[in-house]
Structure 1
Amino acid sequence: MPGRALTAEDEHMWDENNRSLNGPFEPWHQEADTFDLEVVGKIPLELNGSLYRTSSNPHVQPPHPNRYHWFDGDGMIYGVFLRDGRAHASSRWVRTAAFKVEEENGKAVYGSILNGGVPVDFSLDPPMKNPANTHVTLFDDRLLVFTEVDLPHELHPTTLETRGQYDYHGDVSGPVTAHWKTDPRNGDMLFYGVSGSTLTWYHANSHGKLLDSHQFDMGVACFLHDFVATEDYAVFMITPTLFTGPEDLMAGKPSVVWDPETSNGTRFAVLDRHSGAVTFIDGGGAYSGTHFYNAYQEGSSIVIDGHRTDRWGWLSEESAAIAPGQDCNEWFDSMVAKPWRWVLDLSSQRLTRDYQINDVVGEFPRINDEYALRKHRFGYYATTQGTDRWLTDGLAKHDYQGDLTATIPNAELVSPSEPVFVPRDNATSEDDGWMMSLWWNPFTRLAEMLIHDALHFDAEPVARIKLNQRVPMGFHGNWIDGAAIEAAVSSQTV
């Protein structure tokens, strides 16, 4: 399908004051396939595959637009397919059970996941909306889309049609979170699920067969979005972002609050992946990790790189005093995350070092995934330095060895997505590869995909692909090689 003119539907303003419904977050309601996309520059011929991205994209008007939060949008998955220097893009809704409930009703029936607004109705199936909008990857020859408190949904790798849910061949029945780690040596998936204060750790091989699991009590029911793993350990940051009780949910109140006193501040739970033993280490204050790059072992220490913020969630008194029509995203829109390093010593069971890496604030950190679970030198992320109201405004590359940070602004485009690193064929260094990201063009109100040479990070992009679709600001994504996609399609047609 070629690009189309904007229609009246595109011009809607459900709430012009809510950042999460406007600009690069503005919903896009058309599933589409666009071929022979315009390319400025040249797509490297070795890039044969697809960048799969999630978007947070409400398919119906929220019941209370002022309470709508970025996390609430339905999942629309985008695939930008590259081959022989050409590009096409596809987009499809992830048809979850909650999506179908609202589709059948012809309107929104769920309130905001974080901000409340509509009492939870336990007669609905499901009673709460948890859209498949957070992360996407190819695993076990299946394209899987992850969310926070549900099993992942499976999509066809090329048509992106929803095929149902994936339960690791019957081995996992409870929810799993949206972040996992892949062991680059064997393709195994390391992941976890949270139910109340109980965390369940899983290790599955590359064919989705569960190899191991352990369970422990975190002590509080906290919102635990990401983690890190090393060759021998998994580390979870237990923070003061706590889930509220069922009484609050049934009253339509926010689902999380910031409560440093109840949580006793921030702690690290270090799980021995082999024995299941857990060591709790004081984090030295009250703060929240947002996302992590990676972790690795050095002697008796674990080095952890990630981003942190001083607060994540409503204060209890704020939650109780929400006024009709109030902008419910004030705390979130003003949140600042900074790159940070923590060093945990297992012999003394103490946090021995923690410090801010640089002054370039931002989010969505990534590394060259071939260095996962072991020492890395480079990290990449989207900057959030406040040059506009659209959250992200550039990209950054940090060299941990040289303690240097390079940044990429763009004069025409804003709101870049999480950057995804793709190693070059026969790479000679950790940063020898391509950096892919989606940006928003404020003049066309559509998305563009930029490909940068990571070795020459702050140079002009080698290719700028105009998607002819809007990709509402989403969260995470991954590049999948064309051979892996072809193998997945073949395995499902046998």
Structure 2
Amino acid sequence: MTSALPIGETDFFRRGNYAPVADELTEYDLPVTGAIPAELDGWYLRNGPNPRQATAHWFTGDGMIHGVRIEDGAAKWYRNRWVRTDSFIEDFPLYNADGSRNLRAAVANTHVVNHAGKTLALVESSLPYQITDDLETVGAYDFGGKLVDSMTAHPKICPTSGELHFFGYGSIVEPYVTYHRADAAGELVLNRPVDVKAHTMMHDFAMTADHVIFMDLPVVFDLDVAIRGEGDMPYRWSDDYGARFGVLRRDDPDAPIRWFDIDPCYVFHVANAHDDGNSIVLQAVRYPELWRTDGGFDVDGVLWEWRIDLAASTVAERQLDDAGVEFPRIDDRLAGLPARYAVSVAGNAWIRYDLATGVGVRHDLGTGGPGEAVFVPGAGPADESNGWYLGYVYNPERDGSDLVILDAADFGGKPVAKIALPQRVPYGFHGNWIRA
């Protein structure tokens, strides 16, 4: 079994390719091995923590975007830039004088998404920050003053309506979670509370064509840890809290949420979900527990499936594989629909799972350490074999990184191209392809 994270280590992010880089660079005309597909025209951007000074947890470092511009079969440039949030520029307190959260105090280190013409750097504790195509920070983005909440780092864009679905959490008073929706033009049109009983750490959620699904799981805010102020994540596993999925119809967003109990676990990342008759099928990376004594990673997450039977009010759970994986990604044109494949990081490999069977195909990267792989579609209708997978891969032999491009039709084969970057890209979190 391979692991996606350094199991049992709490300070891994200070060493090797987890350690930050010191310089912001701009380099043009990058060297390429192989041939970049001529259809690729856009930006590959990936976010992750790159602290300017020592931090106590991997999740708390300052956000840095690493980007490559691809056009006309060439890698035009590489840039890396810190996201210059208000609290990056000056010392902003986490809480305002009235006790409310200062939503501009942010590290913006987790994801980068594009919706309605705006590219946003995200962290779940704060407002998003808008950036330009050249990775310069524009400023905090609050949907024209309508968002007075944090924004999850894992919003979902509906491929049919163009709507942006997301939530915010982290308030120390009710409502602890609020669901939000923006239309295809980027106008915030919905805010509704989600009835959870405590301040849970809700990192991700799921969406189908007809539903959104919230994950109320037993990693909850721990005031004692927060008061100690040691820099650890202020959340701990609770044996008493329970675990459940909340289902809300998209066409009736003010209706009561239906809750379904599941076996206790934690989920950072959903691969996908879709409707199947009277049921919802949800696939995600499941941890049997998390953060019982500290904020480390003591056990692997593995790919799991839940089938929520809306008519019978039951949930069936099954494990799809036993490999330790993380960062599952699908063809985003199939978000909320029955996607066939999800690609995850597994040690020194990417694994592409058939979500119907759980069977995985590995693409081994030798001694290289990959980050998340993002699917870029080719021309034509949604076809998960017509396109490419892009991701940063660390090369320990030269202490540098490459942007690796795989042909989706030959996932186990050799990369079609490797773009050598002028410095290593530290292991980070999530990114996206933004089409020109």
Which moves more between the two structures, 267-276 or 76-85? Answer: 267-276
Q: Which residue of 1 aligns with 2:244?
A: 267
CA separation in 1, counterparts of 2:137 and 2:229?
A: 30
Partner of 2:265: 287
TM-score, with normalisation over the residues of structure 2? 0.90
| Structure 2: distance between partners of 1:74 and 1:444 | 25
Deviations 1:466-490 (A, max 9, x none): 11122111110000111xxxxxxxx
Residue equivalent to 1:256: 235
1:201 aligns to 2:156 (yes or no): no
The Cα of 1:248 is off from its aligned counterpart by: 4.1
Residue of structure 1 aligned with 2:68, choices 65, 75, 80: 80
The amino acid across from 2:160 in the alignment is: R
Residue type of the alignment partner of 1:244: D
Q: What stretches of structure 2 of length at least 5 have no aligned partner?
A: 1-8
Structure 1 residue 178 corresponds to structure 2 residue 167? no
C-alpha separation between the residues in 1 aligned to 2:290 and 2:237?
Answer: 6
Q: Which amino acid aligns with 1:393?
A: N
* CA gap 1:121/1:165 in 2 versus in 1, 3 angstroms: closer
Tell me the residue number matched to 1:93.
82
Q: Does the CA-based 8 Å contact 1:379-1:399 persist in structure 2?
A: yes
Q: Deviations over 1:274-302 (max 9, x none)?
A: 3332011110x211112011111111110
* Distance (Å, rounded) in 2 between the aligned partners of 1:210 and 1:428: 28
Secondary structure of 1:260's counterpart equals coil
CA RMSD across the alignment: 2.3
Mapped partners of 1:209, 1:375: distance in 2: 28
Given candidates 120, 123, 130, the residue that maps to 1:154 is 130
Report the residue type matching 1:193 in the other structure: G
| 1:343 corresponds to | 307
Tell me the equivalent position of 1:278: 257
Task: Report the AA paired with residue 171 of structure 1.
Answer: K
Partner residue of 1:365 out of 311, 328, 339: 328
Aligned match of 1:410 in 334, 356, 365? 365
**1:19 alignment partner, one of 8, 12, 26:** 12
Preserved CA contact (<8 Å) 2:103 2:126: no
Contact 1:72 1:130 in 2 (8 A): no
Aligned mate of 2:113, from 108, 132, 137: 137
- Once residues 342 and 121 of structure 1 are traced to their aligned partners in structure 2, the CA distance between those partners, rounded to angstroms, is 38
SS in 1 for 2:90: helix
The structure with the greater share of residues assigned to strand is 2
Residue 443 of structure 1, aligned match among 393, 397, 401: 397
Q: Which runs of 5+ in 1 are unaligned?
A: 1-15, 63-67, 103-108, 111-119, 320-328, 384-391, 483-494
Corresponding position: 1:398 with 2:362: no
Q: TM-score, normalization: structure 1?
A: 0.80
Q: Any idea what SS the aligned residue of 2:17 has?
A: helix
Contact 1:169–1:208 (CA under 8 A) maintained in structure 2: no
**Match in the other structure for 1:354:** 317
CA 1:250–1:360 in structure 2 vs 1: closer, same or farther (change >3 Å)? closer
Corresponding position of 2:214 = 236
| CA shift for structure 1 position 271 | 1.7
1:69 deviates by: 1.5
The answer to whether the 8 Å contact 1:239/1:266 transfers is yes
2:48 aligned partner: 55
Deviation, structure 1 residue 179: 0.7
Q: 1:63-119: CA deviations, max 9, x gaps?
A: xxxxx21111111111111011111211111111222236xxxxxx99xxxxxxxxx
The DSSP-based 3-state class of the residue aligned with 2:142 is: coil
Higher helix share: 1
Cα shift readout 1:359-418 (whole Å, capped 9, x = no counterpart): 2220000111111111111111111xxxxxxxx32101011345421001112422x111
Higher-Rg member (1/2): 1
